[in-house]
Amino acid sequence: MEWITFLILGSVAGVLSGLFGIGGGLVIVPILVYMFTAQGISPEILTHLAVGTSLATIVFTSINSVMAHHKHGAVRWPAVAMLSLGIVGGSVLGGYTASFLSGEVLQRVIGVFAIVIAVQMFFQLKPSGREEKPVGRVFLGGSGIFIGWASAIFGIGGGSLTVPLLSWRGFPMKIAVATSAACGLPIALSGSASFIWFGMQAQGLPEWSLGYVYLPALIGIGATSMFFARFGAKLAHRLDQVLLKRLFSMLLLIVGINFLL
């Protein structure tokens, strides 16, 4: 039954990722928290386990997404390279930071972030369009550190942070989304690696865990999320995006408030 649940979760996360252009982490982390709670896993480690597992699953969806965007020539690889230099260090720092937070505090941090994203999605808040300007290496590297750090703590691929940043710097939206998707891979790789490393000595982890990554969930979610991300992308062209985003934002708002209570 557990495997079926993970396969379904991967399907849902993949569809939502394709529909809204956000990483599945915003869906995967809360559901894994609820599932691990039901399994009786210690409250002190279950949120860390959910975040680490989420980051590991994003490796699968990122590869699929990067290949699709690269095929259309939409990825600005020089920007990806500069951002990634900061992202790798920031992701490791984020995993290190999370290892010092209690499970309750980490849930509250994720809850606040979910509420912020819910408000952004509901009101369609976006940076105003501007002429694209050259972006310095120091700016991208420094931004990458923050994006990697925050993404590792929240268990996300960083799209909700990278896309607004690049859009604010004048990147066309399609280019910003594609470049952000490419940045999701180093976030997922370095972030999940740090959660594995910092979780190796954790007490009370369930069987089949590799640090703070729960392997059955990783395999089950990864097996379906890649396929259903494509399905979600197709649906995005047929359904009312504004209505869908507002409905999803209400779900995120409920999840965020629940994490804070």
Q: For the stretch 67-86, what's the b/e string if a residue is b when 16 or more beta carbons lie within 10 angstroms of its beta carbon?
A: eebeeeebbbeebbbbbbbb
Most confident of 29-38, 134-143, 212-221: 212-221
pLDDT value of position 23: 62
Q: What is the mean pLDDT of residues 112-138?
A: 76
What's the number of CA atoms in the CB half-sphere (13 Å) around residue 155?
Answer: 31
CA distances from 77 to 87, 100, 136, 180, 213 (A): 14, 34, 14, 10, 29
| pLDDT class of 80 with cuts at 50, 70, 90 | very high
d(CA 67, CA 70): 5
- Mean per-residue pLDDT over the chain, rounded: 86
Q: What is the mean pLDDT of residues 231-250?
A: 76
pTM of the model: 0.87
d(CA 248, CA 229): 16
pLDDT for 132 beyond 60: no
SS3 string, the chain, reads CHHHHHHHHHHHHHHHHHHHCCCCHHHHHHHHHHHHHHCCCCHHHHHHHHHHHHHHHHHHHHHHHHHHHHHCCCCCHHHHHHHHHHHHHHHHHHHHHHHHCCHHHHHHHHHHHHHHHHHHHHCCCCCCCCCCCCCCHHHHHHHHHHHHHHHHHHCCCCHHHHHHHHHHCCCCHHHHHHHHHHHHHHHHHHHHHHHHHHHCCCCCCCCCEECCEEHHHHHHHHHHHHHHHHHHHHHHCCCCHHHHHHHHHHHHHHHHHHHHC
The CA-based angle 209-185-131, given to 5 degrees, is 150
pLDDT for 226 beyond 60: yes
* 152-205 pLDDT per residue, tens: 999 988 878 888 888 888 888 788 888 888 898 899 999 999 999 999 989 999
